[in-house]
Structure 1
Amino acid sequence: MNKFLSSFTKAGSALVLTLLLLQPLSVFGQSVINIESFSRAVGATLDGEQIQKLYNARLTTGNIEMVCDSAWRFINRNEIRAFGNIQIETPDETIWSDTLYYYTNRDLSLLRGRVIIMQDSTTLFGKRVDYNFFTKVAYFDNGIRLEDQDGTLIAERGTYFQNQDSAIFKGNVQLSDSAQYAEGDSLFINRSTQYLQLYDNIFVADSTNNGTLTGDYLEADSTGRRFVDGNGYMRKISSDTTDTTHIFGDQLLLLERDSTNLIRGYENVRVWSRKFSSVSDTLLYDSSTEVFELISNPIAWHDNIQLTGPYISVQMDSNEVQQLKSYHKTIAVQEDSATGRLHQIKGDTLIAGFTEGNISRIKIYPNSQVLYHTKNEADEPDGAVEYSSPQTVMYFSNGDLQRVVAGKNDGYFFEEFSGLSDRKLDGFAWNPERRPERPKMEAVPRFPPVPKERPFELPNRYLEYINKGN
């Protein structure tokens, strides 16, 4: 009888505990935690607090459902802890983690270990993530990896705002897809509008357009607009890879319109290419016309020719200079390859034509002025010609002057004398020290490529989820 009573008492205690565990838990009027199933339940105390341990548990609260290897419910405070093989389902996302601390009064989850958050077409990976189920904001403070149909993004830490479809990433930020790569120190991005701001030490490589961008700040959007502010640099390789153009400026603006690319450069703009180089305050380029427009204090160089004027346009054709134009009090200076003397041409409008990349014709009008240094058969200096004319046309072969056609003119012929090489027309400008040079070092990424591998071994429940075709 005593044994029977003793057994009955133990069984009754277990039944009471089970019934208590099956009761929904409402803590101070906050979210109700429902226990849907478990394989085993144990009552215990932890640091003097009463807890309930559930094994192979499935819990729900509102529209959140969780399965895990084990779960601890704290009876007298708003906290649940889950351990091992955790999977959480909501209408908006699916989450996997090794460890979870869930504070029901704040809808806040501290996810630790191998954390994966899948939302629509976006999957995020991290090792320490604080996630709010109400605001849908996730904080990654120990590495973040974002993957979607467009590519992969990694950073040392980040914040993801699901409702706004936006994110902030900080520390060694890298973005990569099949056509582009970008890196910087921090990034703000709105994915729905494809708007982004990339800050500090930016590097962008675009394999589709054979282009590279660097600078202090980059702003871009879905229209194809790219704006670089601070130490802007762009490298553009021609489609046939035979030529490379380098553009520097305090600010660079790139616009894509259908099949046309527009480039705008502002403040301290410098251009270097194999065929010409320039400096100016403003640069305008249109890929459909292949015209560079240099505005405000521009200087352009081609081989041994320097062109200076308030406005200069450079017409390119298949990577070769086809025509140079300059308006309003322009002056061109050519350094003689044999004597080193400076031939000078001045007027209101100057048009220089090129054949196969070599200067072939210069027309200057009206009010043209010419100072041309002559030489003898031994290519030694031998006087100079200086004259004024309403119009002058000069014809060249292989860069050497062959013939001059001028209208009615007034001029002089100077015999050779010691100071003749220093003679200058009004407005003379010769600035070889300002001529841009090809960069000695190409811009390259600071970081190794974005790894294809995820940052940890994938959890079993995640693999099962993926393999089922979800």
Structure 2
Amino acid sequence: MLLFTLSMAVLGFGQEQGESKKINCSADVLRYDASVNPDIQILTGNVVFTHEGAICYADTAFYNEKTNVIEAFGEELIIHINDTVHLYGKYLMYDGKTKIVFIERDVILSDEYSVLYTDRLTYLRNEAYAYYDTHGTIVDDSNTLDSEQGWYYTETKDVYFKENVVLVSPDYTVETDTLRYNTQSKIAYFLCPTYIFSDDNSIYCEDGWYDTEQDIYQFEKNVRINTPDQCMQGEYIWYDKIHDIGIAKKNISVYDSVENVLILGEYAEYYGQEGFTFITDSAIAVLIDGKDSLFMHSDTIWANFDSAQNVSEVLAYHQVRFYRYDLQGSCDSLVYWAKDSIINMFRSPVIWFEKNQCLADTVRLFIRNREIHEMHLIRNSFICEDVFKENKFNQIQGRNMFVYFLNNAIDYVFVDADAECLYYVLDEQKALIGINQSVSKQMRIDFADNEVSLITLYKTVKGDMSPEKDKSNVFLRDFIWLNQYRPKSKEDIFMPAFYKPELKIELTEEEEE
């Protein structure tokens, strides 16, 4: 055995002048063991080796001059890849030709943005990335990420995690199989089916990203967001948590289990601080109640929230149409006051139920237990009913009407001002007796079994009963039958709504006051 002992010697064995790719070593002690391998230098005590900008500190090392490979050991083994990237472990192998570092046992990789913990790691200096396959954990100042495999690109600060990936942030926990995370920007990118959990909700998506620093999310592909009371789905959902602003696109559905309401559409925006949201492009609202579900469509559906984030007002505007098996409607715009359960219909409103059609400038519906309790027809009011033969209609006309319901059927109608009615009178066998036509200041029409049972006139101007053959005109002045606009099924809510020509309304002196 040939033994050399050096004290704090600088070793450059096997190097020629200017040959920079050889590893430079120094140690307290250097020795050779020719019986084992004469090409290997054995270094002990304060070992230091450098190679093209990298520097390593160890307790012991074995350097092979021919292969330019060094193995190093130490309880506090450190290799500085550059000024910002540092590796710690207890065993290291470094190849001076390929510039590949293999390090294991309590491995730490640190830079200015994060720290990586694993048990075994390979670092490729030429490509500037590290790889582990024995489970690793990355920690920065706000997040912790775990995975079975990982690739850390130290120049771009991108980390690719694979298999059993878990990201824990202050507000969310992310679970997925593949994820990219940038330790500088602190943005996580979802690359496959991903689950996100918080105290308030759970989220599923198959693509997208999460800015953990700015609290901004973008979820894509089969997105589902579940809260205790709501479920939202879509192909694209973007949300800024700090400013409470969100955008959703394509195949959007929002279900509220408390109100039992489903909202559908292709584009939506949400403004939490301003207290409103809207959905458009094939917008549909469904009030779910089994076979009694109501389907409504309009160009845009808008909802306002109160301070408790409960819906206080719903607005639907332009081409509004709705369908329920026992109630249909059409108008240009609609406002629903949630607290009072009142629906206001504006501009060419029409209501159909059973054989009845109701029109006015404005229609106001009062809802109780999802049934109409009361209906106000305001200005230019008209109700007509399709009678037993074609082109025969019972008709009520007046300035304002108030319709009261009992057991989901008309109980009575009160007409206030300019009241007129034209009714076909039938005997017990449903044979026509004649036509009753009356004009008065006010009028009340009572119903029984969906038929007129009593007409009460106030301040009568005139009233008569005559055979049908003696009536030259069996329609009141403002009669119009709009059955072609009536939705016959939930699919018909996409048909064009009815619009009557705009009329200039002359107010009386009393109304002007």
What's the TM-score, normalizing by structure 2? Answer: 0.76
Q: 2: CA distance between counterparts of 1:363 and 1:75?
A: 89
Q: 2: CA distance between counterparts of 1:261 and 1:236?
A: 16
Higher deviation after alignment, 96-105 or 263-272: 96-105
1:416 aligns with 2:468: yes
Cα RMSD between the aligned structures?
3.0
1:100 aligns with 2:172: no
Is the Cα–Cα contact under 8 Å of residues 260 and 286 in structure 1 kept in the other structure? Answer: no
| Amino acid corresponding to residue 144 of structure 2 in structure 1 | T
1:336 aligns with 2:391: no
Name 1:53's counterpart in structure 2: 102
| Amino acid corresponding to residue 342 of structure 2 in structure 1 | V
Q: How does 1:103-114 map to 2 (within 5 A)?
A: 103-114=153-164
- Tell me how far 1:298 sits from its aligned partner: 0.3
| Amino acid corresponding to residue 435 of structure 2 in structure 1 | A
- Tell me how far 1:278 sits from its aligned partner: 1.4
SS at match of 2:48: helix
Is the Cα–Cα contact under 8 Å of residues 314 and 337 in structure 2 kept in the other structure? Answer: yes
SS at match of 1:126: strand
CA deviation map 1:342-400 (0-9, x unaligned): 11111211122223333222222322222211223421223313343222222222222
Q: 2: CA distance between counterparts of 1:225 and 1:93?
A: 32
Name 2:265's counterpart in structure 1: 215
Question: Given the superposition, is the C-alpha separation of residues 440 and 231 from structure 1 closer, same or farther in structure 2, using an over 3 Å criterion?
Answer: closer
Is the Cα–Cα contact under 8 Å of residues 173 and 186 in structure 1 kept in the other structure? Answer: yes
| Amino acid corresponding to residue 33 of structure 2 in structure 1 | S
Count of residues in Structure 1 that have an aligned counterpart in Structure 2? 432
Query: More helix per residue: 1 or 2?
Result: 1
| Amino acid corresponding to residue 410 of structure 2 in structure 1 | I
Q: 2: CA distance between counterparts of 1:82 and 1:378?
A: 91
- Tell me how far 1:237 sits from its aligned partner: 4.1
Question: Given the superposition, is the C-alpha separation of residues 405 and 77 from structure 1 closer, same or farther in structure 2, using an over 3 Å criterion?
Answer: closer
Q: How does 1:77-96 map to 2 (within 5 A)?
A: 78-96=128-146
- Tell me how far 1:114 sits from its aligned partner: 3.3
SS at match of 1:32: coil
1:289 aligns with 2:355: no
SS at match of 1:84: coil
Is the Cα–Cα contact under 8 Å of residues 246 and 438 in structure 1 kept in the other structure? Answer: no
Higher deviation after alignment, 132-141 or 164-173: 132-141
- Tell me how far 1:10 sits from its aligned partner: 6.8
| Amino acid corresponding to residue 149 of structure 2 in structure 1 | T
Name 1:446's counterpart in structure 2: none
Q: 2: CA distance between counterparts of 1:318 and 1:142?
A: 45
1:34 aligns with 2:86: yes
SS at match of 2:259: coil
- Tell me how far 1:187 sits from its aligned partner: 1.0
Name 1:466's counterpart in structure 2: none
Name 2:21's counterpart in structure 1: none
Q: Select 2:437's aligned residue among 377, 386, 389.
A: 386
| Amino acid corresponding to residue 440 of structure 2 in structure 1 | S
Name 1:435's counterpart in structure 2: 486
| Amino acid corresponding to residue 411 of structure 2 in structure 1 | S
- Tell me how far 1:280 sits from its aligned partner: 0.8
Q: 2: CA distance between counterparts of 1:323 and 1:77?
A: 76
- Tell me how far 1:78 sits from its aligned partner: 3.2
Name 1:310's counterpart in structure 2: 361
Question: Given the superposition, is the C-alpha separation of residues 16 and 342 from structure 1 closer, same or farther in structure 2, using an over 3 Å criterion?
Answer: farther
1:121 aligns with 2:171: yes
SS at match of 1:425: coil
Name 2:53's counterpart in structure 1: none
Question: Given the superposition, is the C-alpha separation of residues 3 and 280 from structure 1 closer, same or farther in structure 2, using an over 3 Å criterion?
Answer: same
CA deviation map 1:15-37 (0-9, x unaligned): 5996333354243xxx5222332
SS at match of 2:490: coil
Question: Given the superposition, is the C-alpha separation of residues 97 and 438 from structure 1 closer, same or farther in structure 2, using an over 3 Å criterion?
Answer: same
**Taking CA–CA contacts closer than 8 Å with sequence separation of 6 or more, which of the two structures ends up with the larger relative contact order?**
1
- Tell me how far 1:305 sits from its aligned partner: 1.8
- Tell me how far 1:413 sits from its aligned partner: 4.0
- Tell me how far 1:2 sits from its aligned partner: 4.2
CA deviation map 1:289-309 (0-9, x unaligned): 221111001001233221111
Q: 2: CA distance between counterparts of 1:255 and 1:276?
A: 26
Q: Select 1:142's aligned residue among 187, 192, 215.
A: 192
Name 1:25's counterpart in structure 2: 80
| Amino acid corresponding to residue 195 of structure 2 in structure 1 | R
Q: Select 2:313's aligned residue among 234, 238, 262.
A: 262
Is the Cα–Cα contact under 8 Å of residues 109 and 130 in structure 1 kept in the other structure? Answer: yes
- Tell me how far 1:191 sits from its aligned partner: 3.0
- Tell me how far 1:166 sits from its aligned partner: 0.8
SS at match of 2:484: helix
| Amino acid corresponding to residue 135 of structure 1 in structure 2 | S
| Amino acid corresponding to residue 147 of structure 1 in structure 2 | F
1:355 aligns with 2:406: yes
Is the Cα–Cα contact under 8 Å of residues 113 and 184 in structure 2 kept in the other structure? Answer: no
1:369 aligns with 2:424: no
Q: How does 1:216-231 map to 2 (within 5 A)?
A: 216-222=266-272, 225-231=276-282
Question: Given the superposition, is the C-alpha separation of residues 416 and 74 from structure 1 closer, same or farther in structure 2, using an over 3 Å criterion?
Answer: closer
Q: 1: CA distance between counterparts of 2:135 and 2:218?
A: 29
Name 2:299's counterpart in structure 1: 250
CA deviation map 1:309-350 (0-9, x unaligned): 111111223333222211222211022358883111112111
SS at match of 2:142: coil
SS at match of 1:19: strand
| Amino acid corresponding to residue 321 of structure 1 in structure 2 | I
Is the Cα–Cα contact under 8 Å of residues 32 and 41 in structure 2 kept in the other structure? Answer: no
- Tell me how far 1:169 sits from its aligned partner: 1.5
Is the Cα–Cα contact under 8 Å of residues 339 and 381 in structure 1 kept in the other structure? Answer: no
Is the Cα–Cα contact under 8 Å of residues 17 and 43 in structure 1 kept in the other structure? Answer: no
Q: 1: CA distance between counterparts of 2:442 and 2:418?
A: 7
1:157 aligns with 2:207: yes
What's the TM-score, normalizing by structure 1? Answer: 0.82
* Identity across matched positions, percent: 17
Structure 1: gaps (5+ residues): 442-470
Q: 2: CA distance between counterparts of 1:356 and 1:208?
A: 25
Name 1:327's counterpart in structure 2: 378
Q: 1: CA distance between counterparts of 2:390 and 2:430?
A: 7
Q: 2: CA distance between counterparts of 1:143 and 1:377?
A: 69
| Amino acid corresponding to residue 7 of structure 1 in structure 2 | D
- Tell me how far 1:229 sits from its aligned partner: 0.9
